[in-house]
Amino acid sequence: MRLSVGDVLKQLKVEMLATDAADAPARAALDAEVGDHLPWYLRAAIGLGAWLATAFLLGFLLFFLDLDDAMAQIVAGLALTALAVWQRRRTTLEFLRHASVAVALAGFGLVIIGLYNQLDARVTGVIVVVLSATLIRLVPDSVFRFLATLAMVAALYVSVVDERSSWG
* Res. 167: pLDDT tops 70: no
Kindly tell me if the per-residue pLDDT of 152 is higher than 90: yes
For the chain, the distance separating the N- and C-terminal CA atoms, rounded to the nearest angstrom, is 72
Sign of CA pseudo-dihedral 162, 109, 140, 49: negative
Amino acid at 33: E
User: What distance in Å separates the CA atoms of residue 47 and residue 50, rounded to the nearest whole number?
Assistant: 5
pLDDT for 159 equals: 82
Q: Is the pLDDT assigned to residue 45 strictly greater than 60?
A: yes
Percent of the chain residues past pLDDT 70, beyond the cut: 90
The span from the CA of 12 to the CA of 52, in Å, is 47
Average pLDDT over residues 139-154: 91
- pLDDT, residue 168, reads 45
**CA 122 to each of CA 69, 90, 118, 119: distance values in angstroms, whole numbers, following the listed order:** 20, 35, 12, 8
Residue 43 has pLDDT above 90, yes or no: no
The arithmetic mean of pLDDT across residues 5-21, rounded, is 79
pLDDT digits over 62-103, tens only?
788 777 888 988 999 999 999 999 999 998 888 898 899 999
Residues sharing a CB contact under 8 Å with residue 163, sequence separation 6 or more, in sequence order: 121
User: What per-residue string of b and e applies to 92-117 under the rule 16 or more CB within 10 Å gives b?
Assistant: eebebbbbbbbbbbbbbbbbbbbbbe
| pLDDT above 80: residue 165 | no
pLDDT at residue 133 is higher than 90: yes
Higher pLDDT, 29 or 69: 69
Neighbouring residues of 140: CB distance < 8 A, sequence distance ≥ 6? 88, 89
User: Would the pTM count as exceeding 0.85?
Assistant: no
Confidence band (pLDDT; 50, 70, 90) for 19?
confident
**Among 49-58, 123-132, 143-152, whose mean pLDDT is lowest?**
49-58
